[in-house]
A and B are shown apart, each in its own frame.
Chain A
Amino acid sequence: MMKFNHQPFEEWLLSGETLAPEETQSLQEHLGVCEACRSLAGAFQQVETALRNAQQLAPAPGFVSRWQARQARQAARQLKQHRRQTLWSMLFSIGGAMAIFTILVVVFLPLLRSPMPILLALTYELVTAVTFTSEIGGALFTVLRTIVELIPPVQWAAILVAFTSLGAVWVVAMHRLTRRRVLA
């Protein structure tokens, strides 16, 4: 008994695409001798006809009204849910604030009864910070003045040009990296 390799023919039959003339001829020749593919072709044709002839079904009348009613119900439900969430959020916030306030009162109440040591400690910290900042500033100023005296004006100009160029390169690079890419 003859054996056929009908894989490409089956694929052509079911592709739903227009075949090249030589493919069509080859398929016709195969269908002439292959009962299985002929049967498949006939069945597929019937299936396609059935699908293409099947009418588009429509919903029962009043679909839009039913949708509007459903949409209104859902909107009302969402509003209710939103209100409930807001209420719970407010309750949690108020509860949390009250809890924090209670903790603060419990912790700091003894200090509030005698505020003098706290005020003295704060004043001391403030004076220390101002003194430290002032000394650091003086040291930096001395270092800068020394550097300025050490480097001649020509070298300063060169440094300025170099930094300006680096800045320009950075700006261009950032612009290229961050600009919106347009797809071809």
Chain B
Amino acid sequence: MQDNESVWLVRAQRGDAEAFSWLVETYQRPVYNLCYRMLNNANDAEDAAQETFLRAYQAINKYDQSRPFPTWLLSIAAHYCIDQMRKRRMTVVSMEEMPYLEISDQAPGPESTLSRKQEQEVVRRLLGTLSPTDRAAVVMYYWYDFSYEEIGNALSLSLSAVKSRLHRARLGMAQDWIDQQPKAGTSERKQHDEIQSPAF
């Protein structure tokens, strides 16, 4: 796969449109998924994914083959989505309003008891609590198994900044999860925070 990809990349860098189409075919899903997780809307995700490949096509000669191609490509997608999110305030679209989505046919995890729709709603809500860059870091970490270093390279962040952002994002999502639980849990947590806060 890697050797094959290198061949296609070399051909694409020589201006072979067919070779680049092969790359689009291969990476459409990860790019689209990242855009969707970032923008939370199928139409915007489609547009962002298309724009990502256009930008990659125009900059393919600047791509350094010593770097992994997915990291480079997803970096373009993440930066584009972050810009889009900063440009306009995101309007939350409910799942019912979303256009058709094809979901991969992988079987859900054995521990998962939620339906796909509920799962998507939970993930949407969790990611919705994060800032654009934190969201990109979380998506890269959990969906693409990027290392901290790869996330740093993709988002132009230092290693400590990546760790700090992921920590903040995890804390935010966990607290949001707690807040969504029945009132009893929430009040216990709040009460505890009040008691514990002077100790920090």
Let me know if B24 and A63 touch, CB within 8 A. Answer: yes
Let me know if B29 and A47 touch, CB within 8 A. Answer: no
CA of A11 to CA of B171, assembled, Å: 9
Q: How many residues of A contact B (CB 8 A)?
A: 41
Let me know if A36 and B102 touch, CB within 8 A. Answer: no
CA of A126 to CA of B93, assembled, Å: 84
Let me know if B195 and A3 touch, CB within 8 A. Answer: yes
Shortest CB–CB separation between residue B99 and chain A, in angstroms?
Answer: 8
Let me know if A57 and B104 touch, CB within 8 A. Answer: yes
Let me know if A58 and B29 touch, CB within 8 A. Answer: yes
B155 at the A interface (CB under 8 A): no
CA of A63 to CA of B57, assembled, Å: 15
B123 at the A interface (CB under 8 A): yes
Let me know if B188 and A51 touch, CB within 8 A. Answer: no
B193 at the A interface (CB under 8 A): yes
Determine the residue in chain A with the shortest Cβ distance to B30: A56
Determine the residue in chain B with the shortest Cβ distance to A78: B58
B50 at the A interface (CB under 8 A): yes
CA of A46 to CA of B173, assembled, Å: 10
Segment with Cβ contacts to B, from A64-72, A114-122, A138-146, A167-175: A64-72
Chain A interface residues toward B at CB < 8 A: 1, 3-7, 10-11, 14-16, 35-36, 39-40, 43-44, 46-61, 63-64, 66-68, 70-71, 74
Give 15 A-B contacts (CB < 8 Å), ordered by A residue: A43-B174, A43-B177, A50-B114, A51-B123, A53-B112, A55-B103, A57-B36, A57-B101, A59-B29, A59-B32, A59-B46, A61-B102, A67-B50, A67-B54, A71-B54
Chain B interface residues toward A at CB < 8 A: 17, 21, 24-25, 28-30, 32-33, 36-37, 45-46, 49-50, 53-54, 57, 100-104, 106, 108-109, 111-112, 114, 116, 119-120, 122-123, 126, 138, 141-143, 163, 166-167, 170-171, 173-175, 177-178, 181, 185, 188-189, 192-193, 195-196, 198-200
